[in-house]
Amino acid sequence: MSKLRLGVLASGTGSNFEAIAEAIASGYLDTEITILVCNRPQAAVLEKASRHGVPTAVIEHGNYRTRAEFDSAVRDCLMEHGVDLLVMAGFDRIVTKTLLEAFPDRVLNIHPALLPAFTGEAAQKQAAEYGVRIAGATVHIVDGQVDHGPIVVQAAVPAIPGEGEEALRARILAQEHLIYPFAIKLFAEGRVKVEGRKVTVRGCSDPGGQTLISPPRD
């Protein structure tokens, strides 16, 4: 059986990309990243990809008249590289059906909140200002709405009153780096079934006392 071929979309520093690349290098993930597409030529993620030996393509969104035209160029690049599963890792563009229809139920995103709470930008700031006691991160399948698609994996962290946004951001990010490779592993092993908004994961037992990650991480 051939390895699952990943395509990554990224725009920034690439910390989640690096977590995925390191999970592959360590043997935790039996997958390969065939292409990283970045829309910003100065993004730090490009250097990280080079360091990991991952091919890159810079497709600047400003060179296209519409989101759909940009997504068409991205889609064509991904398909040229035989991508099976598309992973958004700090990608700052809203994708359209042009891209989603090319990879049905095969586009993942990670969001630094426990969806459906605190969608959109600055989720950690929203959570800190709201005064929640529990915050976290969500890996979900991308659909036509922002931060809305079916949930694959979530991880929770305590939100300490008065600590501020940055401390909460750091704790959430540490969990992102754990659960994103885990979610990809579930797809690579064929354990994910999507029915409407519901995602079931074959082989995951009741989490029992593991209340902070659901499904429980292998």
**Per-residue pLDDT for the chain (218 aa), expressed as one digit of tens each?**
689 999 999 999 999 999 999 999 999 999 999 999 999 999 999 999 999 999 999 999 999 999 999 999 999 999 999 999 999 999 999 999 999 999 999 999 999 899 888 877 778 888 888 888 888 999 999 997 776 789 999 999 888 877 778 888 899 999 999 999 999 999 999 999 999 888 888 886 544 444 455 455 56
Q: Which domain holds residue 79?
A: 1-104
Please state whether beta strands 151-158 and 85-88 pair in parallel, antiparallel, or not at all (unpaired).
unpaired
CA 115 remoteness from chain centre: 13
Spatial contact of 121 and 176, defined as CB atoms under 8 Å apart: no
d(CA 71, CA 66): 9
Give CA angle at 109 (99, 104), nearest 5°.
Answer: 40
Q: How far is CA 83 from CA 78, 183, 196, in A?
A: 6, 17, 23
On whether both 85 and 117 belong to a single domain, the answer is no
Please answer whether residues 88 and 180 qualify as being in contact, where contact means their C-beta atoms are separated by less than 8 angstroms. no
Which tokens go with 2? 């051939």
Cα dihedral 135, 196, 94, 85 sign:
positive
Residue 140 falls in the annotated catalytic set: no
Q: Tell me whether strands 198-201 and 192-195 are parallel, antiparallel or unpaired.
A: antiparallel
Domain count, the chain: 2
My answer on whether 99 and 159 are in the same domain is no
- Does residue 82 share a domain with residue 4? yes
Catalytic residue among 81, 111, 140, 177: 111
Identify whether the C-beta of residue 132 lies closer than 8 Å to the C-beta of residue 159. Answer: yes
Question: Does 146 fall in a domain?
Answer: no
